[in-house]
Amino acid sequence: MADRMLDNTLRVQRAKKGFTQEQLAALVGVTRKTINTVENRKFIPSTYLALKLSQALDVTVEELFQLTNRDDEN
């Protein structure tokens, strides 16, 4: 079975709404660094944060986060 990773469209969805990382961070109660690390797939958000992000961006959690095969990256 291939390794799975959590991919996201956070940067794209944030840009569609016209939010900076700092603005989105303030909306969901985290730091700009947290938004940056999620966008760059260096941090997997809690379910609570994933739900807050999806609500702030008016998209479903599934639109924001997807499980992908690590092999798909190459």
What is the number of domains present in the chain? 1
Instruction: Please tell me the distance from the alpha carbon of residue 56 to that of residue 33, in angstroms, as a whole number.
Output: 17
- Whether 74 is in a domain gets the answer no
Strand spans (E) along 1-56: 4-8
Please name the residues in contact with 52: beta carbons below 8 A apart, sequence gap of 6 or more. 28, 29
Does 46 reside within a domain? yes
Give domain status of residue 45, yes or no. Answer: yes
Indicate whether 42 belongs to any domain.
yes
Note down the domain range covering 14.
4-68
Could you tell me if residue 11 is inside a domain? yes
Residue type, 40: N
pLDDT per residue as tens, the chain (74 positions):
567 788 999 999 999 999 999 999 999 999 999 999 999 999 999 999 999 999 999 999 999 999 988 765 54
Determine, yes or no, domain membership for 32. Answer: yes
User: What CATH number corresponds to the domain at position 11?
Assistant: 1.10.260.40
- Residue 73 in any domain: the answer is no
